[in-house]
Structure 1
Amino acid sequence: MKFQPLKNVTVVSVEQAVSAPFASCRLADAGARVIKVERESGDFARDYDDSVNGESTYFAWVNRGKESVRINLKSKEGKKLFLNLVKKADVLIQNLKPGSMKKLGFGSESLREKYPKLITCDISGYGEEGEYSEMKAYDNLVQAESGLIDVTGDDDMRAKVGISIADISTGMHAYSAILEALMHRDQTGEGVSIKLSMFDSMADWMMVPWFHQKYAGRTPKRKGVFHAEIAPYGPFKTSDGREVMVGIQNEREWKRFCDGVLSGLIHFEDPKFSSNSNRVKHVEELNELIQSRIDQLSHQQTVELLKKHQIAFANLNTLRQFSEHPQLRLTDVEMNGELIKMADRPAQFIGFSTEFGPIPALGEHDEKIRKEFGS
């Protein structure tokens, strides 16, 4: 039996790039019918690259299970068709520039007045008010404005996060907010207007470093792949060149690590290292001592010791090693009549089957949508 809790939900999404497509993709995974409205030239994310059998990696990732229809929202015919879609929709998502949908005559406030059961989700860069409201917002730009880049990297150079984390955060918040709104409508019979910005989404995820700055007057130091606030917590190179990431979270683990892995090189009650705060203060000396011990061990010996003494660790894998990881669950998805591989749904619903719908070609469902909803 398929797990499709949203099988009776229809979503219309005027979307581009990543944040809104991420949210609507997850709704499609849960069984919703998602109609992706694209301009004649298509979602510009279709042209980001051509790595997946000639198609864009970003588009392939967040557009499975959708129907693609091209609509000119400025034309009389396009406006009529779009309103016919909205009339039968449960959810309307859009992430165009703030004010764009309103100028076209499709502002969420007016649509909610006409269709009180409709749930609208407007995604923007910085919200619809304030001096930033008109600014364009892309993932790296929001990483910069939110301070994320300031706490990422090392002493010598700041760095962006290696994936579209601001977009993903916003898409996740949109998905969960829409689910909450659907539950609210089930209880009250009324829809909800949701406003969500990429900046607010990242602000929520930046609270730990922000607390340090707000209440302690300091910014966590950039430590590259090492943790800024916990020690030891970072990678160490074994004698055969592999790197193992070790993470000590409490004093019980610290004692086991000292006695079992470091073989007494450091006494767990040494005043310089007897608490996490002290270890952080002397982290450079600490890491040098640990590395001197790991230098004597092969990767296999290191892993065996860490497992034996129940120390949390991970291999510092390359992307190629990740692609061959024994825990990586992959599934097939249809695109352009062929099957491609991608990661399966993180959440497994025991006793149910799940599958991803095809990734649509531009305008693949034009005729179907116009026939069903009128032109």
Structure 2
Amino acid sequence: MKPLEGLVVVAVEQAVAAPLCSLRLAQAGARVIKVERAEGDLARGYDDAAGGDSSYFAWLNQGKESVVLDFKTPEGAALLRAMLARADVFIQNFAPGALDRAGFSYEELAELNPRLVRCDISGYGSGPETAQKRGYDLLVQAESGLIAVSGSPGAPGRIGVSVCDIGAGMTAHAAVLEALLARGITGRGAHLEVSLFGVAAEWMTVPFVHAEYGKGAPRPAGLKHPSIAPYGAFPTADGREILIAVQNEREWQRLCSDVLGDAGLAGREAYASNIARVENREALDQEIAAITSRMESDRFCGLLDAARIAYGRLNGAADLSDHAAFRTVIVRNSGGSEISLPAPPAVDLADIPRTGGPVPKVGQQTEAIRREFGA
């Protein structure tokens, strides 16, 4: 038995953040009823890479039921209200206030169902200054400062996945589980709010502290760590780049003697501590690169393994499937075709999933849900 079996989740959701939250609940056994417009979740149209489905939609909507309704109509409002009266969790990421204006404020829902846990996800929260501000992932990356500390020197860059959306979905999932635990003690539901900006702002704690109290926030460092050296990418003779991460002085000495073949490098005053190495990073990186560029990548990695130095190959998305740590699940897309997707990252080792739930067509369960909830 999965931990959330028996729980009912109603999700008025689209795109990434809220669907990721409800996906995690579905993977834990909850029944997730996804409410869509007649044209469907906008993420259905992002691409068709997943055997005809959008890659985003196939990933985030495994194992859900889809019902089409318009909560602004009397009929649609009645059906949504009937579902929420029997639901345990309500997740929504429409614009702040949209559901409240349609008669679904938290106060009204708490009267209807005092045990309901509601989670609102938005770009910038419900504060009056930002409630109507559109908060898409890349825009939040920019406004939160994430882009300013990412990319390369002189060329800031976005994080290559929808990191603010994903972070908001993960945060909302944790908050919902905490609220369900609290409900088990108090018998009362909760009203939760998660914003993409709030999540990104917390992630910016270290740069923020440096900006407010230190010497300024770290600048974009490319494939280098801003405060540890050597920690970054180095070239090899076969054109591959290998990232190495030296965490302490013992590792630094082993890197010099056992990997680079130059024990004297560790004893130089300019490189005698991490602080010194960061201050002299450019010269240090050039000296290391001059050695690694004469080695084949497999030999370099073999020496790093033997010296117990952490490293990582600079892989592309196509390399994922060959990685020893990579796990997949088989999912049926909305057209019934099987596709292989990355597996959920947290699993019960006694019951590792091999398949994911099917991806629903738009409104696939609408009639069945209307009959079930009598509206």
- Class of the TM-score when normalised by the shorter of the 2 chains: over 0.9
2:358 is the alignment partner of 1:347: no
In 1, Cα distance between the equivalents of 2:124 and 2:24? 23
Unaligned runs of 5+ in 2: none
Aligned 8 A contact 2:15 2:43 in 1:
yes
Secondary structure of 1:268's aligned partner: helix
Secondary structure of 2:11's aligned partner: strand
Instruction: Read off the aligned partner of 1:374 and give its amino acid letter.
Output: G
Which residue of the partner structure matches residue 136 of structure 1?
134
| 1:103-148 CA distance string (max 9 Å, x none) | 1111123211332111100111111114122101100011011000
Secondary structure of 1:212's aligned partner: helix
Q: 2:15 aligns with which of 9, 14, 17?
A: 17
Instruction: Read off the aligned partner of 1:226 and give its amino acid letter.
Output: K
Instruction: Read off the aligned partner of 2:363 and give its amino acid letter.
Output: G
2:324 is the alignment partner of 1:337: no
Q: 1:80 aligns with which of 57, 78, 81?
A: 78
Normalising by structure 2, report the TM-score.
0.97
Aligned 8 A contact 1:150 1:158 in 2:
yes
Instruction: Read off the aligned partner of 1:352 and give its amino acid letter.
Output: D
Secondary structure of 1:244's aligned partner: strand
Which residue of the partner structure matches residue 367 of structure 1?
367
Moved more, 285-294 or 48-57: 48-57
Secondary structure of 2:271's aligned partner: coil
Instruction: Read off the aligned partner of 1:319 and give its amino acid letter.
Output: A
2:322 is the alignment partner of 1:324: yes
Which residue of the partner structure matches residue 198 of structure 1?
196
In 2, Cα distance between the equivalents of 1:279 and 1:121? 46
Which residue of the partner structure matches residue 244 of structure 1?
242
In 1, Cα distance between the equivalents of 2:237 and 2:246? 21
Aligned 8 A contact 1:182 1:191 in 2:
yes
In 1, Cα distance between the equivalents of 2:291 and 2:79? 69
In 2, Cα distance between the equivalents of 1:213 and 1:98? 31
In 2, Cα distance between the equivalents of 1:130 and 1:214? 26
Aligned 8 A contact 1:125 1:136 in 2:
yes
Aligned 8 A contact 2:64 2:357 in 1:
yes
Secondary structure of 2:266's aligned partner: coil
2:113 is the alignment partner of 1:115: yes
Normalising by structure 1, report the TM-score.
0.97
In 2, Cα distance between the equivalents of 1:345 and 1:45? 20
Q: 2:149 aligns with which of 133, 137, 151?
A: 151
Instruction: Read off the aligned partner of 1:369 and give its amino acid letter.
Output: I
Aligned 8 A contact 1:112 1:193 in 2:
no
Distance 1:266 1:61, change over 3 A: farther
2:224 is the alignment partner of 1:223: no
Which residue of the partner structure matches residue 211 of structure 2?
213
| 1:284-331 CA distance string (max 9 Å, x none) | 100000001112211121111111111101111122222332321111
Secondary structure of 1:224's aligned partner: coil
In 1, Cα distance between the equivalents of 2:247 and 2:284? 15
| 1:160-184 CA distance string (max 9 Å, x none) | 0000000000000000000000000
Secondary structure of 2:35's aligned partner: strand
Within a 5 Å distance, the mapping from 1:275-286 to structure 2 comes to 275-286=273-284
In 1, Cα distance between the equivalents of 2:56 and 2:94? 18
Aligned 8 A contact 2:9 2:88 in 1:
yes
Instruction: Read off the aligned partner of 1:361 and give its amino acid letter.
Output: K
Unaligned runs of 5+ in 1: none
Identity %: 44
Moved more, 279-288 or 342-351: 342-351
| 1:249-280 CA distance string (max 9 Å, x none) | 11111111111112116531311111111111
Aligned 8 A contact 2:253 2:263 in 1:
no
Q: Report the aligned-residue RMSD.
A: 1.2
